[in-house]
Amino acid sequence: LHPLNAAVRSYILQQVQDGLNDATVTSLVLTGGTQHFSAGADLTEFATFTPETLAAATKSGGDTAPTTTITLIDVVQVLEDSTKPIVAAIAGTCLGGGLELALACHYRVALKSKQTKLGLPEVHVGVIPGAGGTQRLPKVIGLAQACQLILTGASLSAEAARELKLVDDVVETPQELLPKAQQWASWAEATMPLEKDPSTGRRLGRRALAESPPMAHNILAQAQLALPRQGIQGMEAALRALRACTQLPLEQGMRVESQAFVETLMSEEGKARRHAFFAVRQAQKLVHPHLRKTVLAQQQALLGKVKTTKSDNKMTV
């Protein structure tokens, strides 16, 4: 599922930087293959963080790792700031940090499949998106839809994501995914340099929110009123980060998001949710295959309360 641990983050960043520094490369495609894009953070890393290292990461604007390592924020910032178009080719799981990677790309192509899911389910494990998810998602699908996805941890199919303009194109077969992404990259090579208005451009962090301040205030107020009465620390933290998206520029909004992420990560509620998540996962290994659907359903109820190639001057990571 391509968890975004330190080694994977470092690999992606190095490959992207190599492509940006190579004059023969004119665009890039980021893909996890035809099975899965990325399931997001490696949750086992969370147990290695201390209050001291997390405090240092927050002060520097980092996300889920000490400042001596490459954070996911480092990676997404390089992707979004790239002067060469970057297209995400999405298949299978694209959740959490995986979707944050895709949001930092300039275009997104997804495979139509029952396995393709896009979302930010961090509330299920007691944290919030920590690499710009609360700051970029509202700018592409709208604040109300972003609140719904982030606060419930729900996911979207490829077709639903296209309807919301979260993805730009959908392909029917795995064989079409990479060629279609390369087509979008070729088209983007000609169009991206012509962007004069960043508020409507393909770099979502620089894009303006569609909602007016009064409308955004009403949406967030309604979301606050709809929260359950208990076990909502992660949801409240997510709302705080979403509110920052409506009031602050990207850099300041990212800092609010990082602080909220650290708070939820170190909270007792967050630790309890992750304990439950890992306990259910361990139990699944001991359950007869015919009973696994039942265990998965129980898990949802519980938690609810790389290869590099070049082709036609396009680099595929």
Active site residue: 45, 52, 100, 236, which one?
100
For residue 201, give Cα distances in angstroms to 45, 46, 132, 188, 196.
Answer: 34, 34, 17, 12, 8
Residues 6+ apart with CB under 8 A from 135: 205, 241, 244, 245, 250, 253, 254, 257
Residues 6+ apart with CB under 8 A from 197: none
* Residue 281 C-alpha from the chain's centroid: 22
Helix, strand or coil, per DSSP, at residue 35: coil
Based on the residue annotation, tell me whether 100 is a catalytic residue of this protein: yes
Token pair recorded at residue 37: 């894009």
Active site residue: 122, 211, 257, 263, which one?
122
Token pair recorded at residue 91: 């298949």
Based on the residue annotation, tell me whether 163 is a catalytic residue of this protein: no
Closest Cα to residue 277, out of 257, 255, 254, 300?
A: 300
Describe the crossing of helices 250-266 and 233-247 by its angle, rounded to 10 degrees.
Answer: 170
Positions marked active-site = 100, 122
